[in-house]
């Protein structure tokens, strides 16, 4: 199958490396200098240093060529972060794409839209589309280590098309029709990973981490159901699976943000040192606002947003959460 991945960051590059073993893959990036360097070195030195790009992988900065590659019975993969998704889709409009999946997780800040709503807003409802999500560190996928992902789409035919493209090798694919649930799980877990990083950075122990993850899953489910998601989705890969990985894995950028905050480092310096997008930082304000709007209780998210944007000390997360009244766990 002809597959084009639009976005040469860590996750886009990792997926391209994995799929190039079985398909004809073009990896496009908007930074022409990075793309030329990656093609020459056969390595994306900026985002995945030390991991070789397969000889069969076509790396290009020519947008028209990359889109045309997947035009007939192929697959387009948008690998931009949420902040860049709308711009990428608008650039795609004149090419009348036949289908698309996206990898980003979060909410668009200005509109509070989930990615599938942004896609619908720009491209309409007329093309098969879906999101690919789940617990997946780019470095591990690029190294050929196993992972399991979920494709969420309303179209059964397109679902089967995506499964043929992605499932195989080191990647196992499951499917869901719950776009809202899958995307809410992928967005909110990043905020909770910041909380877990803070707790670990403060030396609060495994008990506290387990409590944060468990109660964090409750917060994800509350918001997801309020926005139209299915409760069972949050017990799957895009909910519990992604949450566990992001809260506990040292490759998690959002967890690293929390660890840095616990050390007293300024947020701007932490994000600059990462060199990658930490979607939990972008997402926290939006999720807090949505929780208020929908009257959904999200105390961990509230505490993280307070640290990130209101100047609350990190120790206040612990004090605020421990001071809450006892309650029925199921509520």
Q: How many CB atoms lie within 10 A of CB 127?
A: 16
259-265: long-range contacts at Cβ-Cβ below 8 A with a sequence spacing of 24 or more?
259/197, 259/198, 259/200, 259/201, 260/197, 260/201, 261/194, 261/197, 261/198, 261/201, 261/307, 261/314, 262/197, 262/198, 262/199, 262/200, 262/201, 262/202, 262/314, 263/201, 264/314
**Active-site hit among 105, 154, 189, 295:** 189
CA–centroid distance for 13 within its chain: 14
3-state secondary structure 115-153: HHHHHHHHHCCCCCEEEEECCCCHHHHHCCCCEEEEEEC
What is the CB-side half-sphere exposure of residue 46 using CA atoms within 13 A?
Answer: 16
Catalytic-residue membership of 189: yes
Residue for token pair 């899953």 = 217
Length of the chain, in residues: 331
d(CA 133, CA 224): 15
Residue for token pair 């997360």 = 317
Quick one: angle between helices 315-322 and 179-201, nearest 10? 110
* Residues with catalytic function: 189
């Amino acid at each position: 199958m002809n597959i084009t991945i639009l976005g040469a960051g860590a996750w886009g590059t990792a997926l391209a490396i994995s799929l190039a073993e079985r398909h004809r893959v073009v990896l496009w990036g908007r930074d022409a200098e990075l793309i030329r360097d990656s093609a020459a070195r056969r390595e994306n030195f900026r985002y995945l240093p030390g991991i070789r790009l397969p000889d069969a992988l076509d790396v290009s900065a020519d947008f028209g060529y990359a889109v045309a590659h997947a035009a007939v019975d192929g697959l387009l993969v948008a690998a931009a972060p949420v902040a860049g998704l709308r711009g990428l889709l608008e650039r795609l409009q004149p090419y009348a794409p036949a289908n698309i999946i996206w990898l980003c997780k979060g909410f668009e800040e200005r509109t509070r839209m989930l990615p599938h709503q942004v896609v619908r807003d720009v491209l309409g409802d007329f093309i098969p589309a879906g999101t690919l999500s789940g617990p997946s560190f780019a470095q591990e996928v690029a190294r050929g280590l196993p992972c399991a992902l979920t494709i969420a789409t309303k179209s059964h035919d397109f679902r089967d098309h995506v499964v043929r493209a992605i499932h195989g090798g080191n990647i196992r694919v499951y499917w869901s029709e719950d776009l809202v649930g899958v995307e809410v799980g992928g967005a909110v877990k990043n905020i909770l990973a910041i909380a877990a990083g803070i707790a670990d950075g403060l030396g609060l122990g495994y008990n506290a981490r387990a409590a944060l993850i468990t109660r964090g899953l409750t917060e994800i489910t509350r918001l997801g159901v309020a926005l139209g998601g299915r409760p069972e989705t949050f017990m799957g890969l895009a909910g519990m699976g992604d949450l566990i990985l992001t809260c506990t894995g040292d490759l998690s950028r959002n967890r690293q943000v929390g660890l840095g905050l616990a050390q007293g480092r300024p947020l701007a310096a932490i994000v600059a040192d990462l060199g990658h997008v930490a979607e939990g930082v972008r997402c926290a304000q939006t999720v807090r606002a949505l929780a208020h709007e929908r009257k959904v209780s999200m105390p961990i998210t509230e505490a993280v947003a307070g640290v990130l944007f209101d100047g609350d000390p990190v120790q206040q997360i612990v004090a605020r959460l421990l001071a809450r009244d006892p309650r029925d766990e199921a509520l």
